[in-house]
Amino acid sequence: MMRTVMMVLVLCTATARAEDTKAAERYFRAGEKAYKAQNFAAAAQNFEEAYRAAAIPEIAFSAAQAYRRQFRVDPRPEYVKRSVELYTEYLDKVKTGGRVGDAADSLGEMKRELDKLGGMSMVKLAPVVARTALGINALLENESQGGAMREIADLPDAATVKVIATIDGKPVPAYEMIDLEPGPHAIHVEAEGYLPVDRTDRAFKGAAVFVDVKLLPKPAQITVQTDPGARIRVDGRPVGMAPATFEVPAGRHVVAISRDGREPIAREIIVTRGQKLTVRESLVKTVRRRSVPWAFAASGGLLILTGVVGVYATVQDARAADKFDAITQRGDAQDDDRRAYDEQLERRDDAITGTWILGGLTVGVAAIATALYVFDSPSDDRVRVTPMMSAGGGGGAQVIGRF
């Protein structure tokens, strides 16, 4: 029985620690974003909440950094004192590696500032009171949210996307706790290149919580203007017939255009969130399609020639029949008459043979012309796109196809 109780206690303790670590990381990520936005007061608050959830030295260092930076903006004594305490806690736990050198230098700097104020005992920290507050934690899709909680660098990276937030219609800084009355509050969050979000969340008395607001990127819009009826594919996926307008996620894409009897075209393009791009391409006839009129013209010429030879064969046959009738009527055929009749038959047979040959050639050439027209369809799976960069830095593609 005692063993079972101990196991339950261990599991409960492990679960509680996991929840604390999860909460600490949530506050840490919000503090990290506030620090990048150079809202050092909000960053310090968030790092403090993270440190209360999990007393990790990296969080202590980051909170100390935020307090030190905020002191340069708003020289309040409590910022100096708290930064000294946090740098000291960090150095008590981390002796080598990490940001030990930076922590030691910054600690010395803050101690000198503290001495000017009369020392630790002369500076009183504001008491921690329960707050009724909400904070907006904007989560941008595709933004890296993982990774270990590391010490924040002295100089923050520039915030890549500016987040605009309002609560009950009033502008508020993102990633910062805002004191509110208990009850429901309307939240609006937007960022350039992302779809805006409107939602309602409740503030509970004595609780300060972050509201995670996930912003989805706006799709880019691509319009393809080319020969009507041409097939459009994006990254190998059919999207319709030209003219076509479709949406794609931001990034690199390959737009392929194909039509029967035309050389296929593919373009590698890069689009950003919410961008509208028009692709204009003219399709060129394939060698096969350009050969079709010539093949049909040759077939027509052969047809005329077949008709002429056929008429000649008919005339020769009629003349041979006349000679035969003349010989039959006289009853006696002379050698010259027989030779003339035989020659007439030979000319007729040669003309008939020529008619068949020319007729066969006519049908063959016409069949070839028809096949060139009907089967001149580019195979999309045989088109290879090779990315290229133009001299002006633009994107392009070389298309190699077999049909």
Regarding whether 298 and 225 lie in a shared domain, the answer is no
Identify any residues that bridge with 223 across adjacent strands, giving them in sequence order: 245, 278
**How many Å apart are CA 216 and CA 191, to the nearest integer?**
10
Regarding whether 297 and 265 lie in a shared domain, the answer is no
**Domain enclosing residue 295, as ranges:** 287-374
Identify any residues that bridge with 386 across adjacent strands, giving them in sequence order: 398
Regarding whether 333 and 272 lie in a shared domain, the answer is no
Residue 163 is assigned to a structural domain of this protein: yes
Sole residue written with tokens 């909170």: 63
Confirm if 309 and 351 have CB atoms less than 8 A apart. yes
Structural domain ending residue among the three candidates 122, 143, 162: 122
Confirm if 349 and 320 have CB atoms less than 8 A apart. no
Reported pTM? 0.58
Confirm if 226 and 281 have CB atoms less than 8 A apart. yes
Find how far residue 290's CA is from the centre of its chain. Answer: 37
**How many Å apart are CA 383 and CA 369, to the nearest integer?**
25
> What's residue 146's pLDDT?
52
Residue 350 is assigned to a structural domain of this protein: yes
Regarding whether 252 and 180 lie in a shared domain, the answer is no
Q: Helix 2-36 vs helix 57-73: angle between axes, to the nearest 10 degrees?
A: 30
Tokens of 167: 């609560």
Structural domain ending residue among the three candidates 231, 253, 286: 286
**How many Å apart are CA 246 and CA 257, to the nearest integer?**
14
**How many Å apart are CA 296 and CA 307, to the nearest integer?**
16
Regarding whether 229 and 197 lie in a shared domain, the answer is no
Q: How many domains does the chain have?
A: 4
Q: Exposed/middle/buried for 94, CB within 10 Å: 0-12, 13-18, 19+? A: middle
Regarding whether 228 and 209 lie in a shared domain, the answer is no
**How many Å apart are CA 202 and CA 275, to the nearest integer?**
35
Regarding whether 322 and 304 lie in a shared domain, the answer is yes
Scored b (16 or more CB within 10 A) or e, 188-217 reads bbbbebbeebeeebebeeeebbbbebebeb
Confirm if 259 and 403 have CB atoms less than 8 A apart. no
**How many Å apart are CA 217 and CA 213, to the nearest integer?**
13
Residue 107 is assigned to a structural domain of this protein: yes
Tokens of 158: 């520039």
Tokens of 149: 């909680």
Residue 320 is assigned to a structural domain of this protein: yes
Residues 6+ apart with CB under 8 A from 304: none
Helix, strand, coil abundance in the chain, percent, nearest 5:
45, 25, 30
Regarding whether 363 and 348 lie in a shared domain, the answer is yes
Residue 379 is assigned to a structural domain of this protein: no
Regarding whether 271 and 240 lie in a shared domain, the answer is yes
Regarding whether 79 and 68 lie in a shared domain, the answer is yes
- 87: domain CATH number is 1.25.40.10
Residue 332 is assigned to a structural domain of this protein: yes
Identify any residues that bridge with 166 across adjacent strands, giving them in sequence order: 171, 188
Structural domain ending residue among the three candidates 169, 189, 215: 215
Regarding whether 155 and 66 lie in a shared domain, the answer is no
pLDDT string in tens for the chain (403-residue length): 555 545 544 444 444 456 678 888 888 888 888 888 888 988 888 898 889 888 889 999 999 999 999 998 988 888 888 899 899 999 999 888 888 899 899 989 988 888 887 776 666 666 666 789 888 888 886 655 555 677 776 665 555 678 899 999 999 988 888 899 999 999 999 988 899 999 999 999 988 888 888 988 889 999 998 888 888 999 888 888 888 899 998 889 999 888 887 888 888 888 988 888 888 888 887 666 666 677 678 778 878 888 887 887 788 788 777 777 777 776 665 666 677 777 777 777 887 887 888 778 878 877 776 766 666 666 655 555 544 333 333 444 333 333 3
Residue 267 is assigned to a structural domain of this protein: yes
Residue 189 is assigned to a structural domain of this protein: yes
- 257: domain CATH number is 2.60.40.1120
Left if phi > 0, otherwise alpha if psi is -120 to 50, otherwise beta: which for 264?
Answer: beta
Confirm if 390 and 313 have CB atoms less than 8 A apart. no
Regarding whether 75 and 152 lie in a shared domain, the answer is no
> What's residue 2's pLDDT?
52
